[in-house]
Amino acid sequence: MALCYLCDANDRKTWCYYCEKCNNIKRMVALYGLDRVYEVLDCVLVRTKEQQNHKIKIELEKEKELATQKVEDAKMTTRSKDAKQRNC
């Protein structure tokens, strides 16, 4: 079977130039217009360098918070074990 003309990755339907996913994109372009589909893709999927750096910063902060929480949980577990041992 031949490859899709748009994504060049998936097999296309026998009666169409596009695979199922790309055919759906083609329908969206027909329904909403090329400019609107492009605008949505550009706003949602494409990030500027500033936006990339902001996203990286947010993800690093989340990772730091998770690591801090794990350390705090480990301290609490150790304190609980120590307290149980003293009570025995």
pLDDT for 27 equals: 94
Residue range 2-49, pLDDT digits in tens: 888 889 888 877 678 889 899 999 999 999 999 999 999 888 888 888
Q: Taken in order 22, 28, 34, 39, is the CA torsion positive or negative? A: negative
Domain ranges of the chain: 20-87
State residue 24's pLDDT score. Answer: 93
Q: What pLDDT score does 8 carry? A: 87
Burial class (CB in 10 A: 0-12, 13-18, 19+), 28: middle
What is the chain's length?
Answer: 88
- The letter for the amino acid at 52 is Q
For 42-81, how does the pLDDT look when each residue is reduced to its tens digit (9 = 90+)? 888 888 889 889 989 999 999 999 999 998 888 887 777 6
Q: Do residues 20 and 13 make contact, with C-beta atoms less than 8 angstroms apart? A: yes
